[in-house]
Amino acid sequence: MNWASRVKVTAIRRLYRSERRGLLDEKSLLDVGWVLYALCEDVVTAVTAIHLGEVPCPECDQPLQRKNIPAPTEAQRTALLRAQHRVGWFHCEHCQSRLLWQDCRDALRKKPRCFDCNRLLKKSGAKLRCTACDKSWEVKKYRESVSRRVLLPCPHCKQRLRKPIFEHQHSFGGRERLPEERKYLCSKCKGKMIRKSSSLTCSSCGHSVRWRSYKKSLKRRDETLACGNCGCEFRWQEWRRKGLRYGTGNPSPAAEFLEQWPKCTTTRQRMMQIDVLIQAIHGQGALAPVFIEGTKESIRQLLDELAAK
């Protein structure tokens, strides 16, 4: 398989501009739409491989199942791809700026402010100091605290804001997570391993391993996958390294686009579907650079522009 290439910032901007003028041309709409479609396929493929162990052969696309991870059920697939998508942005209740919670955090990391009085902190050595309340924080502790706090100042008006609820519920991180309900197979007899606090025990032969060493061995193992269809062999870790870029973030907007895009029959429907995806990407910082080619700033600027229209 070949990973799809990204859409250029300019192509998206041109599309929205021509829409605003009522001059949307079908060809550029389809061009952008199908590139996004290919990218959505890659996102779903990568997430499915990373979370459920189903990896397409790099030569012939034949889906292969990783060792020790049972083939995913339809229910697992649905749970993974249809996770309720939450739009990540909100409005500051004081100045109405459109924000991501991440913006509030980034602003404090760039220009630290006192958690109590909101004044700018002065850096002295490894410490940050508020001259007004005579409090100080170690830089590292301060940063950690920024990630944990539920009240942070708005980067624009500096009034304190409460962390929006949806930010507490992010379900997919970039790291490979092992869901609790996933069943593990015994290395001796391929029976089902049951997890009990800190160990895994095989339900058929009784073979038992410590959970932690099992998890470590899964990571360490340089797994080779052999394709029965074309005969090629490849290393999972190598596949994963490339796939991880696409397998970050919540895949549900991508899954949704894959389902809806082919059903669109009019220019309007197609533009709307692209817009839904773009807005979802905007809400999810992590996905933007996967879909759109440009610097972090230029992508963000484009998405803000589109959101403000």
Which residues does 147 contact at the CB level (< 8 Å), separation at least 6?
Answer: 105
3-state secondary structure (DSSP) of residue 308? helix
Residues in a beta bridge with 135: 130
Q: How far is the CB of 90 from Zn ion (least distance, A)?
A: 10
Binding residues vs Zn ion (CB under 5 A):
57, 59-60, 62, 88, 92, 94-95, 97, 114, 116-117, 130, 132-133, 154, 156-157, 186, 188-189, 191, 202, 205, 207, 227, 229-230
Least separation, in Å, of the C-beta of 33 and Zn ion? 25
Q: Using the minimum distance from each CB to Zn ion, give the nearer residue, 234 or 267.
A: 234
Report in angstroms how near the CB of residue 288 gets to Zn ion at its nearest.
12
Q: Minimum CB separation from Zn ion for residue 132, in Å? A: 5
Query: Quick one: 25 or 61, whose CB is closer to Zn ion?
Result: 61
CA distances from 65 to 30, 49, 109, 180 (A): 34, 9, 42, 19
Among residues 90 and 261, whose Cβ is nearest to Zn ion? 90
Q: In angstroms, what is the minimal distance from the CB of 26 to Zn ion?
A: 34
Nearer to Zn ion, 33 or 53 (CB): 53
Residue placing its CB nearer to Zn ion in the complex, 189 or 307:
189
Closest separation between CB of residue 4 and Zn ion, Å?
19
Residue 58: what are its φ and ψ, rounded to 5°?
A: -65, -20
Q: How do 292-293 and 7-8 pair as beta strands?
A: parallel
**Alpha carbon distance 104, 116 (integer Å):** 16
Rounded (5°) CA angle 165-258-183: 65
Rounded alpha-carbon distances, angstroms, from residue 74 to 44, 46, 77: 14, 17, 5
- Cβ-based nearer residue to Zn ion, 112 or 294: 112
Which CB, 30 or 70, lies closer to Zn ion? 70
CA distance linking residue 70 with residue 263, whole number of Å? 33
Instruction: Give whole-number Cα distances, 186 to 146, 182, 209, in Å.
Output: 43, 13, 9
Closest separation in Å from C-beta 150 to Zn ion:
14
CB 302 within 8 Å of CB 292: yes
Is residue 219 within 8 A of residue 177, CB to CB? The reply is no
